[in-house]
Amino acid sequence: MQVLVTGAFGNIGSSAAAQLRAQGHEVRLLDVPTRANLRRAQGCSDVVWADIRDADAVQRAVRDQDVVVHLAGLIPPQVAENPELARAVNVGGTENVLEAVARHRSRIIFASTLDVYGHTQHLAPPRRVDEPTAPTDEYSGHKIRCEELVRRSSQPWAIYRFGDVPPNETRRPHPIMFAIPLDNRIELVHRDDAGLAVANGVTADIWGRTWLIGGGAGCQVRYRDMLGRALDAFGLGALPESAFSTDPYCTDWLDTAESQRVLQFQRHSFEDIMSYVVEYSRPPLAARLVLPLVRPLARRHILKLSPHF
């Protein structure tokens, strides 16, 4: 089967592309030519370097493809930093993909997010497919709008609402880390499980439905569990609770029973996920040796990012 993956060198895209190839599909990759993406693309064939906002380039990329896996997009905190660009990429780019899908009669798998459920910590978990959506920021609003556009497509479609998929790369501290209450429910999913859900979905009976893609019961944790493990990797220890917001935030646990039955993708535990997060977050040996000496300064630097502390 011919499969196009947009955002092919991103967190989920790189895993999905590899697993699609392993299953025998011919995979075309579409992404922007950043320095990191050019490095990741070494050894790859059939790569289309283009911006998803370029409608003509998207048309060329979708030509002759049986399925389009549309993962390209901007996520927080980049969305808040440049909302006009984010809307052009997330909504405008999806419109371009849908126009190309209709013209070339392809099927589409669209990547959405658990954020579309809005603030749900006051409700009993887990969240289910048929529950209402509610935008809480630009990003969730983009995804809700795109879901509406996808459902109107004349071609077969499927929507994947992903849980939190930690990347296998170091992430710098950012104020957004303090926006989530420590007791917030959050469901993680290993990037390779997310990629496998995509690869298995291409030939499964998924069309015309929305699917929840999370790690399952073993990956349903509180934000403090996830953050604590990451901070421990740096030897920083827990940060004061007063540094974190108590305002509602849009994460929760998901009902993935039906998704797992059909897609058979849940293979990794919370411990597996945090192992690779720690591996890619851990500083070099030389830095770890001096970390005890600079620990107070490092904690102070991170806490300065908090608007609550």
- The predicted structure's pLDDT at residue 309: 86
- The predicted structure's pLDDT at residue 230: 85
- The predicted structure's pLDDT at residue 298: 84
- The predicted structure's pLDDT at residue 292: 65
Residue whose C-alpha is closest to residue 112's, from 305, 299, 250: 250
CATH number among 3.40.50.300, 3.40.50.720, 3.40.50.11540, 3.30.70.380, domain 2-303: 3.40.50.720
- The predicted structure's pLDDT at residue 53: 98
Domain residue ranges in the chain: 2-303
Per-residue pLDDT of the chain (309 residues; tens, 9 = 90+): 999 999 999 999 999 999 999 999 999 999 999 999 999 999 899 999 999 999 999 999 999 999 999 999 999 999 999 999 999 999 999 999 999 999 999 999 999 999 999 999 999 999 999 999 999 999 999 999 999 999 999 999 999 999 999 998 777 889 999 999 999 999 999 999 999 999 999 999 999 999 999 999 999 999 999 999 888 877 788 999 999 999 999 999 999 999 999 999 999 999 999 998 888 776 666 555 566 667 788 889 899 999 998
